Amino acid sequence: MQRAKMTTYRNEARREIYPAPAAPLPAALPGYAGHGYYDLTPIKHSHYKWNTALAFLSTQIAGGSQIIATVADLRGQNRRMVRAGRYLAVAGGMNSAAILIAALHTPRRWYNMLRIFKKSSPMSIGIWSISPFTFFSGLAAAGQVAADIGYTRSGNWAGRAFSLPAALLGSVAIAYMGTELEETNMPAWASAYPLMAPLYACAGVSNAAAALLLFPMHNGTCGATTASIKKLAFVSGAAELALGAVLDGHWRRSAEASAIAQSRYEPWYRIGFLGIGMLGSLALRLWDRFDTNRSRVSNAASVLKLAGAMVQQTVLVYAGQESGRRARDYFAYTREPKIGNNAEHADQPADHAKKSAGSAGKDRATRTLPKARRSSSRSAVAWGLFACGALLISAAVLRKKESSR
């Protein structure tokens, strides 16, 4: 009886999601003065730290490696690369699971996450993707071991059978992390919707490709596979760079992400991740010309990419945490239309009226937006010029190298 009541209650609640916009605040109220209660933040910040960033990177490499290895296996590519991908997947999966368990505040109860599945919780989705991913990756790696010690046919068959579900779960594992950050109330993360999940997905593939290219077994023995992975690393890296640059522009022009755009994290994100990690590694990949052999240039590109990825994860985790400490960022985030039918918020008519009237009382967030937009345009142009310059220099170097041959 009680269960039936609760089910009815839950269904009723679900049906009414996203109701009509809120009623306007009374006209007698003054406009937003740009500050809250003694500048104390109205929300609690996230408790993620560097170990979460490391776990994210490890999951990306693991998930991406399994996907690449599975595709390579299905396309009949070199077995050494498939082997490397499978071993890297299981090692990365176990590593990230161990780090994430250690990051809990009560680690001995980690298994409580496996007692239920919630599609409304990105963390639940993450746990239910990483755990079976690691399990199936372990079985696929065991099949690979069997193949390596002489049971070639049965080992390869088992490896392929278990790597297919592992690759599917790995896809969820590398995409859910962006969702996990986005679906919170940390202004810098939440305002990045819907770019964070594709960014993490691209990063997963490009980081895994970079990690696989560092394995010594490619040298001369699986040239065609190496070349195709280099191309994959380049394309996925370019997509990641584009998404990262778009996010950078968004954060700079919005009033919700001062923790990234106007803090000590900004140079790390722009120079460390976008500049050295992404543009640097992409330029080196061009220089390498997707050669069939492993080379120092390719290795340098991979190292730069992975170092930039660690910087990216760390900056995103800490900047998101910092944004939770900034009351103005949160008030800016909760004053703008975001999703569903809540496109118009209570105080917008009053604010717009004040803005058009140009009254002295208009709020700080709306007053700074045009300047931020101008700055963002300049930033986009600067980034575009920088990218074009880097590509032109790379092309010139390539041509010179070609002519010298």
Smallest CA-to-CA distance from 250 within 337, 316, 188 is with: 188
CB of 381 to another protein, least distance (A): 26
Residues 214-233 that bind another protein (CB under 8 A): 220-225, 227-228, 231-232
Residues 138-167 that bind another protein (CB under 8 A): 167
Alpha carbon of residue 244 to chain centroid: 9
CB of 59 to another protein, least distance (A): 13
Residue from 131, 156, 262, 334 touching another protein (CB under 8 A): that is 334
Residues 87-106 that bind another protein (CB under 8 A): 104-106
What DSSP state is assigned to residue 30?
P
CB of 19 to another protein, least distance (A): 6
Contact call for residue 282 and another protein (CB under 8 A): no
Contact call for residue 71 and another protein (CB under 8 A): yes
Residues 374-403 that bind another protein (CB under 8 A): none
Select 122 or 159, whichever has its Cβ closest to another protein: 122
CB burial of residue 218 (10 Å; 0-12, 13-18, 19+): buried
Contact call for residue 194 and another protein (CB under 8 A): yes
CB of 160 to another protein, least distance (A): 15
Smallest CA-to-CA distance from 283 within 248, 249, 243, 233 is with: 233
Residue from 175, 188, 274, 278 touching another protein (CB under 8 A): that is 175
Contact call for residue 46 and another protein (CB under 8 A): yes
Select 105 or 405, whichever has its Cβ closest to another protein: 105
Stretch of 74-82, 296-304, 309-317, 388-396 lying at the interface with another protein (CB under 8 A): 74-82
CA 393 – CA 405 distance, rounded (Å)? 19
Stretch of 82-90, 189-197, 368-376, 381-389 lying at the interface with another protein (CB under 8 A): 189-197
CA 357 – CA 378 distance, rounded (Å)? 28
CB burial of residue 47 (10 Å; 0-12, 13-18, 19+): exposed
Amino acid at 238: A
Contact (Cβ atoms closer than 8 angstroms) between residue 36 and residue 42:
yes
Contact call for residue 371 and another protein (CB under 8 A): no
Select 104 or 388, whichever has its Cβ closest to another protein: 104
Alpha carbon of residue 85 to chain centroid: 21
Contact call for residue 49 and another protein (CB under 8 A): no
Stretch of 158-166, 183-191, 261-269, 379-387 lying at the interface with another protein (CB under 8 A): 183-191
Helix (H) or strand (E) holding 390: helix 364-404
Smallest CA-to-CA distance from 59 within 134, 162, 161 is with: 134
Length of the chain: 405
Contact call for residue 37 and another protein (CB under 8 A): yes
CA-to-CA dists, residue 242 to 260, 264, 281, 295, 380, angstroms: 18, 22, 14, 26, 11
Residues in the interface with another protein (CB under 8 A) total 117
For 13, the token pair is 């609640």
CA 290 – CA 293 distance, rounded (Å)? 8
